Structure 1
Amino acid sequence: MKSKTFWINRLNLIPHPEGGFYSEVYRSDEFIPLSALNKRYSKAHRMGTSIYFLLPGDSFSAFHRLKSDELWHFYTGQTVVLYLLYPDGQLEKKLLGPDIEKGEQFQLLIPHGVWFAAQVLNGVASDAFSYALVGCTVAPGFEFEDFELARRDDLLSQFPEHEDIILRFTRK
């Protein structure tokens, strides 16, 4: 298994605002016109986008949500735990990884508008091999204006029953 530094350097990954590291792999040349998109969008969007995303074991992907569906794909490293917080307050925990017999999946769908956060299962801060390398595919394509990083106080007021998990996976 390669180290997280190997992947960061080899794939030219840079820090992501939600935590972890990323680099864009694909951005469609074709657009979906605004008239064909749901009203939650304010401009035409690419048909699809894709990134590499590396989550170190000593970090987490903070709660955020997108206006588009996002599909996570497991590549290598350790299992990722994703926490999905739905608008109705339901909290769901999903495992992204290679061990199907333990309930892990190679691909996971994050529906648009759902808050979600992630961390490496049993991540270790000092271990160069404690990470997960995944891919994230978004359709209609990702635009940073469609990305919303959760504010701790807002989530706490909306979902007080999930205080522990919100405090754990927000930064401010």
Structure 2
Amino acid sequence: MTIEEKIIEKLGLQLHPEAGYFKETYRSKGEINPGSAYNGTRNYSTCIYFLLTSGMFSAFHRIKQDEIWHFYEGSNIDLHIISETGQHSSKLIGRDLFKGESPQVVVPGGSWFAAEVTTPNSFALVGCTVAPGFDFSDFELAQRNELTSAFPQHRDLIARFTR
């Protein structure tokens, strides 16, 4: 059994809709009504484990809330973000601060984002915290043609990280 298979089993991770494996680890008891941008109430915050292997990628998707990624274990992750105005940035999530990696990265709400493990035959275990709390009704998986029409300058990147 590989180390990532052991982690998946130990943490009870399940397949995630955009790729990788996840498990919700926290959902606050408190709820808020965040207003008309959301359909109904949301918990104050939620948190998941997320494991990604080098043989897969997390496809472009977005949520309405800010999402904070926390690095835990394995190889670094290259996180691609396309803002609502079309600006692209790439953030390395990892623990080697002196090679430009950061153990924590914030994805602004409404931004499209995708991720990949940069080291072949490896994996990364991260945590993702969302506030207001995550709800699948806030989740949107990118459609290649629509995202390319909106941001033609990122055509190659979009083709690489959509299905």
TM-score by length of 1: 0.92
- TM alignment of 1:38-117, pairs within 5 A: 38-117=35-114
Identical counterparts, % of pairs:
50
Tell me which residue corresponds to 1:6: 6
The alignment yields a C-alpha RMSD, in angstroms, of: 0.9
Which of 141, 146, 155 lines up with 1:154 in the alignment? 146
CA distance in 2, matches of 1:38, 1:112: 15
CA distance in 1, matches of 2:36, 2:111: 17
The offset of 1:42, in angstroms, is: 1.5
**Misfit runs of 4+, over 2 Å:** none
The offset of 1:38, in angstroms, is: 4.0
Instruction: Describe the superposition over 1:46-101 as per-residue Cα deviations: whole angstroms up to 9, x where unpaired.
Output: 01000000001100000000111100000000000000001111110000001000
Gaps of 5+ in 2: none
Gaps of 5+ in 1: 125-129
Tell me which residue corresponds to 1:20: 20
Instruction: Describe the superposition over 1:112-159 as per-residue Cα deviations: whole angstroms up to 9, x where unpaired.
Output: 0000000001233xxxxx100000000000000000000001001111
**Residues matched between the structures, number:** 162
CA distance in 1, matches of 2:100, 2:113: 19
CA distance in 1, matches of 2:150, 2:65: 22
Structure 1 SS opposite 2:5: helix
Structure 2 SS opposite 1:170: coil
The offset of 1:39, in angstroms, is: 2.5
TM-score by length of 2: 0.97
Residue type at the aligned position of 1:48: S
Structure 2 SS opposite 1:39: coil
